[in-house]
């Protein structure tokens, strides 16, 4: 049975597809802004088991 077929038990999107689409969109933003993207892991100082992914996009504004 296909994903969107009536009666299909599949719901939502897979984590792999979600990651692919997010990366694709971020790459598009970087190209549109002629920017630089950096990513890193950030740890919660109160709970070292809590880890976040941080993405920073740096670009020069054309408007003064």
pTM as predicted: 0.67
Contact 25, 52 (CB under 8 A): no
Residue 9 has pLDDT above 70, yes or no: no
Would you say residue 53 lies in a domain?
A: yes
In angstroms, the CA 55 to CA 64 distance is: 25
Residue 27 lies in a domain: yes
Give domain status of residue 63, yes or no.
Answer: no
In a domain? residue 32: yes
Domain membership flag for residue 10: no
Name the strand (E) or helix (H) holding 32: helix 15-33
Q: What is the Cα gyration radius of the chain?
A: 18
The segment with the largest mean pLDDT, out of 7-11, 16-20, 47-51, is 16-20
pLDDT exceeds cutoff 90 at 38: yes
pLDDT classification of 63: cutoffs 50, 70, 90:
confident
Domain-located, residue 6:
no
Q: If DSSP codes are grouped into helix, strand and coil, which group holds residue 52?
A: strand
Count of domains observed in the chain: 1
Domain coverage including residue 41: 15-58
59: pLDDT strictly greater than 60: yes
């Amino acid at each position: 049975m296909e994903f969107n077929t009536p009666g299909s038990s599949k719901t939502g999107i897979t984590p792999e597809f979600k990651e692919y689409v997010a990366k694709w969109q971020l790459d598009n933003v970087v190209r549109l802004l002629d920017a630089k993207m950096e990513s890193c892991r950030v740890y919660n100082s109160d709970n070292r088991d809590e880890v976040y992914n941080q993405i920073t996009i740096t670009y020069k504004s054309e408007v003064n």
